[in-house]
Amino acid sequence: MWVFRDGKQSVRSRELVLELQQSISTRGLAPSDSERKLDALIRAGELEAALADQAHPAAVLLAKVTDAVAASLASSEEPDRPAASCASLEASDFPERLLISPPEGFAYYALHPMDFADTAASLAQLGRSYAVIGIRSIGTTLAAVVTAALKIHGVQAERITIRPVGHPYDRTTNFTTEEIHWVQKHNSHAAMFLVVDEGPGLSGSSFLSVGEALLKAGVQADRITFVGSRDPDVKALCTHDAPDRWPRFQWRRATANGCRHFPGSTFVGSGAWRAVLLSEESDWPASWTQMERLKIMSADRKWLVKFEGLGRFGREARKRALCLRDAGFGCDAQDGGDGLLRYPFLQARPLRARDLSAAVLERLAAYCAFRAREFRLNDIPLQQLEEMVRVNLGKEFTPEVTPQIQRGDLLSNNPVLTDGRMQPHEWLLQADGRIFKTDAVSHGDDHFFPGPTDIAWDLAGAAVEWEMDGQATDFLLARFAHLTGDDPRPCFPAFLLAYTVFRMGYCKMALSAEAGSPEEIRLRQAYQHYRGKVQRQMALEYEASSFSVVSEPSLS
């Protein structure tokens, strides 16, 4: 199933360089400027990776900037070094545009570069040399931090970056001639090879492809260590022969310290928040626990703290949170450091589908109207909903029952950052009758579908998740049209199907990832629930045609 969208953006390279220069500035990076250092490090790593993907000569200059900022972040020494490195970019030639991939760990998953610096310190052995290979994209930044930390601890270290290619579940790595020479040089000195990246993901094939390319180049397996952000369930990795291939290599996980600012706090991520907020276990929604953002409850239970993104990602998230607060739809959001925002823990109860009323429908319509107005984008980004619907319907149903999605049905000339979480439990009812929206800041800009799209996505999500009948749906759409002057009804059926198809695919992929866990039953039920809705929507849309739908879902 296809649930992860392509988040690449085509950006003017000079604008990115200017942002980098502004984050460093001519006055350098003082020891106290940790936030600016993180900003600069993330941007430098993105630029370096994008240039390296094009094999552009300027990638070498950017690597020096990335290394300088990483060294400044890992140590308080040489605060002027990043600015000096950045100055060299002024006279450099760059391609007009670059494709930039968001660094998912920094943006979504509470991955802090210094977690990798701490791990590198534990690996450093005096008298050894280290060859560090970062897997692009985010591995570029992480490898720079690991290399800087190794050097600080008195060992020799050098790095390069690699981009494995091929299917996500079967990546391959083919070293260039220059890279082969680099590997052979370090291998002749019996260097320890560290392969650095976020992950492993669902397959682990990127790590494995680099490790096996090193074996092919003559490096002994006991001198190859993978350094990542999570311990893999090797049997569950969905690349071929993973249980046989993975154990050949050493593994080291970078320990996350996301709760360090809140001593005594309680971890409520990975679905644990449900036990805090929803008293009845029967009301717990299914969760893809591995994909949830970091959440913690403060020791005094007054604050719910959530990771919303490092650097510019966190700043943009806080802007949206405060905009929601000022409009009366959300609560306050305070900076918690290291990409965390803390929200007051409201004395309120989550709503349920049976709470649907005219007042709730009014609130839903007003909220969607607000997002359509305040979170509209100036540029029209890549939109892939039509392809996602075609692919997932094709995988789930036979061609005879699959409707034809017309080109343009799901394109929007007025894309917004949607909410993406319109389920009833995401709305809190206070004793005074006020209704607040939670979890409203970041999901419209994460790496899942839909990405920026028409607000009809959230209207469709509300109709599906609140189990609205035709009358309630008509009321919602009419109220939205009245508030905005924009009638969503012509495109609504296509977005209704697209939303439900995505949720079906999401739950099916999560079911595979969570197989054998306590969450499997909930995810299976959710998958079947959404699949049934897709069947009914297709039947209603094409009831004049004679076709039958598959009665039993396939989990192949």
Task: Give 403-457 pLDDT, tens digit per residue.
Answer: 777 778 898 888 999 999 999 999 999 999 999 999 999 998 899 999 999 999 9
Sequence-separated (6 or more) residues with CB below 8 Å from residue 556 = none
Match 């992950």 to its residue by tokens: 199
Sequence-separated (6 or more) residues with CB below 8 Å from residue 78 = 68, 71, 72
What is the number of other CB atoms lying within 10 angstroms of the CB of residue 476?
24
Average pLDDT rounded to a whole number, residues 444-472: 96
Q: How would residue 32 be classed by pLDDT, with cut points 50, 70 and 90?
A: low
Q: Please measure the distance between the N-terminal and C-terminal CA atoms of the chain and give it in whole angstroms.
A: 10
Which tokens belong to 46?
């993105």
Q: What's the whole-model pTM score? A: 0.90
- Would you tell me which CATH number, out of the four given (3.40.50.300, 3.30.10.20, 3.40.50.2000, 3.40.50.2020), belongs to the domain 103-257? 3.40.50.2020
CATH number of 349-541: 3.90.1200.10
Q: What is the pLDDT of residue 279?
A: 85
Residue ranges per domain, the chain? 1-102, 103-257, 349-541
Mean pLDDT of the chain: 91
Q: What confidence tens digit (pLDDT) does each residue in 235-248 have?
A: 989 999 999 999 99
Task: Please list the residues that pair with 342 across neighbouring strands.
Answer: 305, 334
Q: What confidence tens digit (pLDDT) does each residue in 184-198 have?
A: 999 999 999 999 999
Match 């540029």 to its residue by tokens: 379
pLDDT at 475 over 70: yes
Q: What confidence tens digit (pLDDT) does each residue in 50-61 have?
A: 999 999 999 999
Q: Angle 473-477-482 (CA atoms, 0-180°, nearest 5)?
A: 145
Measured distance CA(34)–CA(56) in Å, rounded = 30
What is the chain's alpha carbon radius of gyration, rounded to the nearest angstrom?
A: 25
Match 């306050």 to its residue by tokens: 332
Q: Phi-psi region for residue 154, left (φ > 0), alpha (ψ -120 to 50) or beta?
A: left
Match 């600080």 to its residue by tokens: 152
Burial class (CB in 10 A: 0-12, 13-18, 19+), 349: middle
Task: Give 440 or 381, the one with higher predicted confidence.
Answer: 440
Q: How would residue 80 be classed by pLDDT, with cut points 50, 70 and 90?
A: low
pLDDT at 542 over 60: no
Rounding to the nearest 10 degrees, give the CA dihedral for residues 471, 475, 476, 481: 140
